[in-house]
Structure 1
Amino acid sequence: MNLPEPLIASLAGGTLVPYLGPGVLAVAPDYPVPASPEALVAQLTARVSVPHKIRNRLTQAAQFIENFKHRKTLVEQMNAAFAATPVPGALHAWLAAQGFPLIVDTWYDGAMAAALQARGDAWGEVQGLSQSEHFGQWTGWYDAAGEAVGEPAAVWQTVLYKPIGSRRPAANYLVSDADYVEVLTEIDIQTPIPVRVQALRSDRNFLFLGCRFNDQLARSFARQIMKRSSHMHWAVLAEAPTRMEARFLQEQNITPIAASLEAFVAVLTACQRDVARVAGAMASAT
């Protein structure tokens, strides 16, 4: 398998934005946390009884727990589910080493943050906040040490954007129906998306890894986070897209790459020679 030449050019030109879904944990060496919405809701409902008809629906099950057991119980259950930090895999380490200005990570684990921390470069993160716990505040910024900061530092080489929150450093979660309703009410006008992220995504190409778009929430978040970026993107999909996924990919100019994530990561992490070749050609052209 060869990488698409435009993707290599985006890497060489520094215009690529990795967009990670829960599926990236499947290529990590150790992931003792739920690696899909289905696995997460199974863990939540194993601990708290919910009605049968919603036991396989993450946001609805989380809303039931919040309504009948209190928000504190839901947060405690999420904390337990993501208590362990997965060992960063080859993909996480490679991404951390590239110095991407922006990495989007749409799961609650800390593997990508751990890889950035191990790399040692200046970085920080911004997480989406639940309105039930932080009314009127859409996001929280944290430095590499996990300390809350008012705004991103100019010296940060990479901003890690966790739009639905993370276990660390402050147990922020968008997971229940109410959490998402609040955000989706405002996301069309971009209010929940940090200005720094909006600037960093401008005219850039997104590479979707470990993501599926067979859920309306996943499509809505991706669509709004991509807004005002470039006209060319890619998504690695091991399985043929569903009808709704195919429509979304076409609508957003996302080219599917038919490959397992494992195979793609192996090629991606070995492509430095091609990136150097294209970078040299781009330099010569200017």
Structure 2
Amino acid sequence: MNAAATLKDIVSDIGHRVAGGQLIPFLGPEVLTLSPEACPVPVGARDLAHLLSSRVAVPGRIRNNLWHTAQYIETFRHRVTLDKLMLEVFKPVPAPSVLHSWLAAQPGVPLIVDTWYDGTLAQCLAPRADWALIQGTSKARRTGDAPWYRAYGADGTETTEAQAAQAATVLYKPHGAAQPAGDVLASDADYVEVLTDIDLGLPIPQAVKDRRKERGFVFLGCRFYDQILRTFARSIIKHSSGPRFAVVPVGDLTRNELKFLEVEGITPIDMSLAEVAALFAGATP
């Protein structure tokens, strides 16, 4: 790419590389803002924290923090209450955007990281038989056989990670998923053990580690204002060969977000997510 290339040229090239399996899409909750219909679920950790605190009274000082809010509910109203709330909140499946539909239609995409709890992308992938879901599992549901994550086949039945790794496309949801089993990471307790071992790579599925080799990442609809979000992103992209890009509103980023991008070698793309999605939709391998 020469210096004269426009930003649109760069983004179009990124789209071609995503379609060709060279760049792994890393989706955040803000991709749901691209939906053609009003989104029926919260978009982002703060919005979800506010919704949960409207259902269960929590101290005002923690209402902006999802993980503290979820922990308070788990501690004082029981884990079952938290799980039921999360399942209820994310039972509606948002209408897919152009970006969701385009990604699901790309057979050459080996891995999609989707960090929100909704079932939009899984629903888009449903017509295909060659994909699998691997998701993080909550502390409340971890077992000796599945200490960090669970895997599901294209038909929604639970399977082994080894079997899921045979799929052409793996959808990886590190924070869990509302569907098919309603198993999500949300409270501080869910993250304690994960964050303790994540630098060692233990909570990251081998299928993800294998597919990130010799590939880069592009972050879409992600923000990194919280340490948990930065830690997960850093660990998932660790040992990838690059390049790395992030579609972000550069002027709105916090100092911590800017530092994260710099340290991790992530090139910011200061373009609206809607424009990027439109350019991607015209990309082919």
Assess same fold via TM > 0.5: yes
Count of residue pairs the alignment pairs up:
272
Q: Counterparts in 2 of 1:148-163, with a 5 A limit? A: 148-151=158-161, 152-153=163-164, 155-163=166-174
Contact 1:101 1:200 in 2 (8 A): yes
Query: Which residue in the other structure is 1:127 paired with?
Result: 135
Deviations 1:79-119 (A, max 9, x none): 1110101111110010011121100000000001011113x
Query: Which residue in the other structure is 2:24 paired with?
Result: 17
Do the aligned partners of residues 3 and 209 (structure 1) sit closer, same or farther apart at CA in structure 2, a change above 3 Å counting?
farther
Do the aligned partners of residues 206 and 154 (structure 1) sit closer, same or farther apart at CA in structure 2, a change above 3 Å counting?
closer
Percent identity, please. 47
Q: Counterparts in 2 of 1:225-236, with a 5 A limit? A: 225-236=236-247
| Counterpart secondary structure, 2:151 | strand
Do the aligned partners of residues 11 and 58 (structure 1) sit closer, same or farther apart at CA in structure 2, a change above 3 Å counting?
closer
Q: Counterparts in 2 of 1:1-286, with a 5 A limit? A: 1-4=7-10, 7=14, 10-11=17-18, 13-30=20-37, 31-99=39-107, 100-118=109-127, 120-136=128-144, 137-151=147-161, 152-153=163-164, 155-240=166-251, 241-272=253-284
Contact 2:111 2:170 in 1 (8 A): yes
Q: Give the whole-Å Cα distance in 2 for the aligned partners of 1:63 and 1:86.
A: 26
Q: Show structure 2 runs of 5+ residues with no match.
A: 1-6
Do the aligned partners of residues 243 and 154 (structure 1) sit closer, same or farther apart at CA in structure 2, a change above 3 Å counting?
closer
Contact 1:92 1:115 in 2 (8 A): yes
Deviation at 1:271, TM superposition (A): 3.1
Contact 1:3 1:268 in 2 (8 A): no
Q: Show structure 1 runs of 5+ residues with no match.
A: 276-286
Q: Give the whole-Å Cα distance in 2 for the aligned partners of 1:168 and 1:180.
A: 20
State the TM-score, normalized to the length of structure 2: 0.91
State the TM-score, normalized to the length of structure 1: 0.90
Deviations 1:28-56 (A, max 9, x none): 12321111112111111111011111112
Do the aligned partners of residues 42 and 154 (structure 1) sit closer, same or farther apart at CA in structure 2, a change above 3 Å counting?
closer
RMSD of aligned alpha carbons: 1.6
Q: Give the whole-Å Cα distance in 1 for the aligned partners of 2:175 and 2:191.
A: 9
Deviates more, 1:263-272 or 1:92-101: 263-272
Contact 1:101 1:159 in 2 (8 A): yes
